[in-house]
Each structure stands twice: as C-alpha cells, then as structure tokens.
Structure 1
Amino acid sequence: MTLTTPARGRTGTRDADGMAVASFVLGLLGLLVMNLLLGPIALVLSGLALWRGTARRGRALLGAFLGAADLVVLAVLVGVDHTVSWSFGG
C-alpha cells in the first residue's frame, strides 16, 4: 500500500500538461522569432512533458515537431544568408 496525496498526483500531471502546451506555443512562436532560443526550449519541454506522462501527448509531440522545425528553418536561413539573424523586410 502506497500513501500518496491526491493533490500531488494531479499537480504532476498538470505540470506536464502545462509543459506540453508551453512547448507547442514556444515552437510555434519560434517559427517567427528567436528560433535559435525557442526551438531548443520547445524540444526540451516536450521531452519532459512526454517523460512525465502528460495527458496532452499530441500537443507535446507537436511542440517537439515545431521545435525541430525552428532549427531547420534556422539552418536554411543560415545557409542562404550566411548569418544567424534575419528579418521579414528587404
């Protein structure tokens, strides 16, 4: 028989769900700005959310995909412009 408090179990799941949502939002935002910073953060948060057993598994997987896409966009832009910074205007 294990003694756990119900509040602690819900808090852990809620934290993992929050990480999943945060990874999705940061990955999406990273496609527009600061992809060098936001992409890896989205990857780490999605990995942590999946490891902790989030109920929002799809959102965590999307966060991981978007975080990786941030880094791919950065690599393409560096290959084209030979610089890490970029802007919308010419």
Structure 2
Amino acid sequence: MQLTAQASPRTGARDADGMAVASFVLGLLGLLVLNVFLGPIAIVLASVALWRGTARRGRAYLGLGLGVADLLVLVAFMQLDSTPSWSF
C-alpha cells in the first residue's frame, strides 16, 4: 500500500489567507518593537498573499500598510535622534 500526499485545491488559498493574517499581526507588532525587521516581513507576506489571491484581501492590505508604517516610524525616529537606530 502506497500513501501519497495530495494537496487539496484549497491549500494554496489557505496558505495565502494565513500569510495575510501573519502580515497584519507582524505589521501591528512592528509598530512597537523591531520595526526594522517586522516591517519588511509584513510587506513581503502581504504582497505574496495578494499575489496568490487571498480571500482576506483587507487583512493583507492592512498588513501592507502597517509594514510601510513600521518603516516610516523607523525613519521618523532616526531623523529625530540623528542616529541609525532608536530605542525607548
């Protein structure tokens, strides 16, 4: 008896939905800590989720916006401190 793993047709969409949610959560978390890392990750995850046709488009767009906001917050604090990084 041979067992083969077959992906259901919904697996790719479910993965894209998970990426959309993950981008939103990481983008939101990135506003508080590690925005230099979490911002770009949120942007990439949201872009891939939208490219794969996620059913959670709103969440993906929020993750994309929050990822960009993470980087803007980083740039704003770098300008205020005149340093390459910032801390609380």
Paired residues, what number?
Answer: 82
Identity, in percent, stands at 67
- Give the distance between the partners of 1:41 and 1:7, measured in 2 at CA: 26
| Structure 1: gaps of 5 or more residues | 1-5
Q: Compute the TM-score of the two structures, normalised by the length of structure 1.
A: 0.87
Secondary structure in structure 1 of the residue aligned to 2:8: helix
| Structure 2: gaps of 5 or more residues | 1-5
Alignment-derived partner of residue 72 in structure 1: 72
Aligned-pair Cα RMSD in Å? 1.2
- After the TM superposition, list the runs of 4 or more consecutive aligned residues in structure 1 that deviate by more than 6 angstroms: none
Q: Compute the TM-score of the two structures, normalised by the length of structure 2.
A: 0.89
CA offset digits 1:55-75 (Å, max 9, x no partner): 000000000000000000000
Alignment-derived partner of residue 11 in structure 2: 11
- Give the distance between the partners of 1:71 and 1:11, measured in 2 at CA: 31
